[in-house]
Amino acid sequence: MISFEHVSITYPGATTPVLVDVNLQIPEGELVLVVGRTGSGKTTLLRAINGLVPHFTGGTLSGRILVDGRDTAVNPPRELADLVGVVPQDPMSGFVADIVEEELAYGMECLGLAPDVMRRRVEETLDLLGLVELRNRPLLSLSAGQRQRVAIGAVLTSHPKILVLDEPTSALDPGAAEDVLAALQRLVHDLNVTVVMAEHRLERVVQYADRVVVVPGDGEPVISGTASEMMGDAPIAPPVVELGRLAGWHPLPLTIRDARRAAGPLRELLTGRPAPLRVISGERDLAPLTSADHLTVRYGDVFALRNVSTTISSGEIVALMGRNGAGKSTLLNTMVGLKATSAGIVRTNGKDPREIKGSELVHCVGLVPQDPGDLLEASTVAGECRSSDHDASVDPGTTRALLALLAPEVLDGTHPRDLSEGQRLLLALAIVLAASPPLLLLDEPTRGLDYPTKTRLAKILRELAAGGHGILLATHDVELAAEVATRVIVLAEGEIVADGPTAEVVLTSPMFAPQVAKILAPEKWLTVAEVRAAITGEATG
Instruction: Give dist(CA 9, CA 29) in Å, integer.
Output: 26
Please give the average per-residue pLDDT across 263-271, as a whole number.
91
What is the structure's pLDDT at 181? 86
d(CA 437, CA 361): 9
Write down the pLDDT at residue 397: 94
Task: Give me the helix-helix angle, 174-191 and 144-156, nearest 10°.
Answer: 10
In our burial notation (b when 16+ CB lie closer than 10 A, e otherwise), range 417-446 reads: ebbbbbbbbbbbbbbbbbbbbbbbbbbbbb
Look up the CATH number of domain 290-515.
Answer: 3.40.50.300
CB-based contacts of 236, cutoff 8 Å, min separation 6: 35, 37, 202, 450, 451, 452
Q: Are 448 and 89 in contact (CB under 8 A)?
A: yes
CA distance 359 to 51: 45
Q: To the nearest whole number, what is the mean pLDDT of the chain?
A: 89
CATH 3.40.50.300 placement within the chain = 2-241, 290-515
What integer is the mean pLDDT of 281-289? 65
Contact 446, 477 (CB under 8 A): yes
> Percent of the chain at pLDDT above 70?
97
Inter-CA distances, 454 with 118, 172, 281, 307, Å: 42, 18, 21, 33
Q: Which CATH number, 3.40.50.300, 3.90.1150.140, 3.30.565.10, 2.170.130.10, labels domain 2-241? A: 3.40.50.300
Which pLDDT does position 284 carry in this prediction?
A: 53
538: pLDDT strictly greater than 70: no
Q: Average pLDDT in the 209-213 region?
A: 92
DSSP string computed for 17-81: -SEEEEEEEE-TT-EEEEE-STTSSHHHHHHHHTTHHHHTT-SEEEEEEEETTEETTTS-GGGST
CA distance 346 to 441: 15
Q: Which residues contact 159 (CB under 8 A, 6 or more apart)?
A: 121, 191
pLDDT tens, position by position, 477-519: 999 999 999 999 999 999 999 999 999 999 888 889 999 999 9
* CA within 13 Å, CB half, 37: 17
**Which of 304, 218, 198, 166 minimizes the C-alpha distance to 17?**
218
**For residue 303, which amino acid is it?**
F
Across 88-92, 158-162, 470-474, the highest mean pLDDT is recorded for 470-474
How far does Cα 505 stand from its chain's mean position? 22
Characterize 122-138 residue by residue with b for buried, 16 or more Cβ atoms within 10 angstroms of its Cβ, and e for exposed.
beebbebbbbeebeebe
Banded pLDDT at 168 (limits 50, 70, 90): confident
**Rounded Cα–Cα distance for residues 409 and 517 (Å):** 34
Per the model's pLDDT, the better-predicted residue between 61 and 508 turns out to be: 61
pLDDT tens track for 423-471: 888 899 999 999 999 999 999 888 878 888 888 889 889 999 988 899 9
Strand ranges for 256-407 from DSSP E: 290-299, 302-312, 317-322, 343-348, 365-368
What CA–CA distance (Å, rounded) separates 340 from 335?
A: 10
CA torsion sign for 39, 41, 44, 49 is negative
Q: What is the rounded average pLDDT of the residues 168-178?
A: 83
Predicted confidence (pLDDT) at residue 541 exceeds the cutoff of 80:
no
The DSSP H or E segment spanning 153 is: helix 144-156
| pLDDT reported for residue 280 | 64
Q: E strands along 313-423, which residues?
A: 317-322, 343-348, 365-368
- pLDDT, tens digit, for every residue of 398-421? 999 999 988 888 989 999 988 877
User: Is residue 41 very low, low, confident or very high in pLDDT (cuts 50, 70, 90)?
Assistant: confident
Q: State pLDDT tens for residues 352-396.
A: 999 988 778 889 999 999 888 888 889 999 999 999 999 999 999
Phi, psi of 424 (to 5 degrees): -65, -40
Backbone angles phi and psi of 318, in degrees to 5? -105, 125
Say which amino acid occupies 200.
H
Residue bearing the bigger pLDDT, 365 or 176: 365
DSSP, collapsed to helix, strand or coil, labels residue 245 as helix
Q: Residue 259 pLDDT > 90, yes or no?
A: yes
